[in-house]
Chains A and B, each alone.
Chain A
Amino acid sequence: MTQTLRNIGLIAKSILLEAIRRKEVYVVVFVACLIIGTVMTMDFFQIQGITKFYREVALKVMSLSTGLMVVLLSARQLPREFKNRTIYPLLAKPISRNTFLLGKLVGAMAAAAFCFALFMAVYLTGSWYLGGDVPWALFFQYVYLQMLMMAVLSTLSFLLSMTLTLSAATTIVVLLFILSATITSATTFVYYTLDQLGQWVIAFLTYLIPQFTLFDLSAKAVHAQQWEPLSLKVMMALTLYAGIYCLVFFVGSALLFKKKAL
């Protein structure tokens, strides 16, 4: 058991190392910083409510950038291992395929967390510069839910990368992620216009596709005066919701990978 955990840690560490050494994470953070920085310059014009505007933009940019990062990092892990044949010396070691997969998942999550931590540093620095209190309780809930969302995105990317090409898997997950709010609004609207069969289909799709908007607390974190932090019950329900998706996607990936000829 200890060795299995160590193996997961070793594989995860290699992905984190890659994220730290490759420039793409920093490029994403740099671009995000530019956007956030541009918003901050508006403080110069003393626009009313600039702090809220800054927070709204910053949190959205952070959420979007980290989401894209986690999808790219996760989706490419396995296809690249196959393409470069780095999988052979790795799986020739006394580790199971499940351990390998879990290590990759933890690594992708850790790399995403690293990216998110960079954003946090930028965000908090900006908040401090513009003044105003950070609603810490809601802010931490926002961070926690973002982590859950990343886990769902990551496991879904792994699952799709096992069956589809890298570009197809990435495109599908990115679209589901970016258009999540639109899909939710559209299905809610369409639901009431359909007959029973159509409603069943919509309901099925709603449960099949993870609702990423559920993990987005950015609006609440910005308008903290109007909102109380989420109750423990809601947080637990969201944790369970994410956990079920993660489990289903991971088990699916593990089953496919177990049977895959390398």
Chain B
Amino acid sequence: MSDTKPVIEVENLVVEYGRGRKKIRAVNGLSFQVHQGECVGFIGANGAGKSTTMKTLMGFIFPTSGITRVFGEPATEGKSRQRIGYLPEVALYYPFMKARELLELYGGLHGLSRSDLKKKIPAMLEKVGLAGRGEILLKNFSKGMQQRLGIAQSLIAEPEALFFDELSSGLDPIGRYELRDLLMELKEQGRTIFFSSHELSEVESLCDRALIIHRGQAIREGTVEELIQSSRTIDLHFTLNDLSKVSESLRSRIQPDGARFHMTTDASESLADVVAQLAQVGAQNIRPEVKNNALEEYYMRIVRETETHNDF
């Protein structure tokens, strides 16, 4: 955790929709912080509570209980919006407007002068890959182009913090690649970036930290390196003459692999202990193979574990 000031503070956030029997708890006691200059990925399945949390941070939804602060100000008051760029999960933009006019509207609402906007808009359109498209009506924009424009509108006032809900939604592979470059650039400029995404490779390559949310609760939080590290597994390949000598608990983990056997250990157990146990039952030629599971695999495992233990 960083020593810098928190840009986002969420404490025991609860958000409920509906009333009476139809009441749904979308966020259930979520707590986390995002510090200045950090890039944090917000991971979770559909309906996990990511967008609800984002909307609460933007002051669109009011918490049932708990605290949400952005730049030290209560999120519900919206005072911090001057310093935030926000990209909603799905947004259509006014079809009767041209791209330039839309950016003029949003930039103007941020307090940018006409002369500033005149300079910034072409540069911004170029940055998001829409150079020369400023005079096209938005009804003629594809979904990907609208998403690019959405990114442009969130960056137009050069905000200190960026909140992106489903960042690469609607973008093609090239768009995603370009976006990754853009985010790297923003990160290098020291901007705080908090984004939700289903693209875990995106989170893995860009983020300092990741927060995994499941059914409205944070189930894991840490640096991406920590999370991947804890998911690191080692495959042990070996030969074994008599499997019946092996204890039941160990035997259930051993898989035949041609003429040999293999078993997988995870970061929570001591490799030396496992090797000693295998040697004790007559395993020979033990060859370890280290595997670094990607964040995606880690995420899948953690969610399955959480579901199995039902510990939320």
Chain A binding surface SS class: helix
Please tell me if the beta carbons of A86 and B94 are within 8 angstroms of each other in the complex.
Answer: yes
Closest CB in chain A relative to B147 CB, distance in Å: 12
Which B residues between 99 and 128 are near A, CB-CB below 8 angstroms?
Answer: 101, 105-106, 108-111
Which B residues between 74 and 120 are near A, CB-CB below 8 angstroms?
Answer: 78-79, 81-82, 84-88, 90-94, 96-97, 101, 105-106, 108-111
Please tell me if the beta carbons of B105 and A88 are within 8 angstroms of each other in the complex.
Answer: no
Closest CB in chain A relative to B106 CB, distance in Å: 6
Closest CB in chain B relative to A26 CB, distance in Å: 14
Contact with B along A1-30 (1 / 0, CB 8 A): 001001100110110011001100000000
Question: Size band of the A side of the interface?
Answer: 20 to 34
Q: Which of A7, A18, A259 contacts B94 (CB 8 A)?
A: A18
Q: Which of B61, B78, B82, B154 contacts A261 (CB 8 A)?
A: B61
- Given A3-B111, A7-B109, A92 and B62 contact (CB-CB distance below 8 Å): no
Q: Which of B78, B81, B96 contacts A21 (CB 8 A)?
A: B96
Please tell me if the beta carbons of A14 and B111 are within 8 angstroms of each other in the complex.
Answer: no
CA–CA, A85 and B17, complex, Å:
18
The answer to the question of B58 belonging to the interface, with a C-beta cut-off of 8 Å to chain A, is: yes
CA–CA, A96 and B76, complex, Å:
11
- Given A88-B86, A94-B81, A94-B111, A14 and B92 contact (CB-CB distance below 8 Å): no
The answer to the question of B55 belonging to the interface, with a C-beta cut-off of 8 Å to chain A, is: yes
Quick one: closest B residue to A85, CB to CB?
A: B91
Please tell me if the beta carbons of B111 and A85 are within 8 angstroms of each other in the complex.
Answer: no
Please tell me if the beta carbons of A94 and B97 are within 8 angstroms of each other in the complex.
Answer: no
Contact with A along B139-181 (1 / 0, CB 8 A): 0000000000010011000000000000000000000000000
Please tell me if the beta carbons of A93 and B81 are within 8 angstroms of each other in the complex.
Answer: yes
Contact with A along B41-64 (1 / 0, CB 8 A): 000000000000001001111100
- Given A6-B108, A17-B97, A261-B60, A92 and B88 contact (CB-CB distance below 8 Å): yes
Please tell me if the beta carbons of B108 and A92 are within 8 angstroms of each other in the complex.
Answer: no
Q: Which of A7, A22, A89, A96 contacts B93 (CB 8 A)?
A: A89
Question: Size band of the B side of the interface?
Answer: 20 to 34
Closest CB in chain B relative to A253 CB, distance in Å: 18
The answer to the question of A95 belonging to the interface, with a C-beta cut-off of 8 Å to chain B, is: yes
- Given A14-B97, A86-B92, A92 and B58 contact (CB-CB distance below 8 Å): yes
- Given A7-B109, A14-B97, A94 and B78 contact (CB-CB distance below 8 Å): yes
Closest CB in chain A relative to B123 CB, distance in Å: 20
Quick one: closest B residue to A18, CB to CB?
A: B96
- Given A96-B78, A262-B60, A90 and B92 contact (CB-CB distance below 8 Å): no
Please tell me if the beta carbons of B86 and A17 are within 8 angstroms of each other in the complex.
Answer: no
CA–CA, A228 and B41, complex, Å:
72
- Given A3-B111, A261-B62, A88 and B106 contact (CB-CB distance below 8 Å): no
Q: Which residues of A contact B93 (CB under 8 A)?
A: 86, 89
CA–CA, A7 and B88, complex, Å:
21
Please tell me if the beta carbons of B109 and A10 are within 8 angstroms of each other in the complex.
Answer: yes
Q: Which of B59, B62, B88 contacts A89 (CB 8 A)?
A: B88
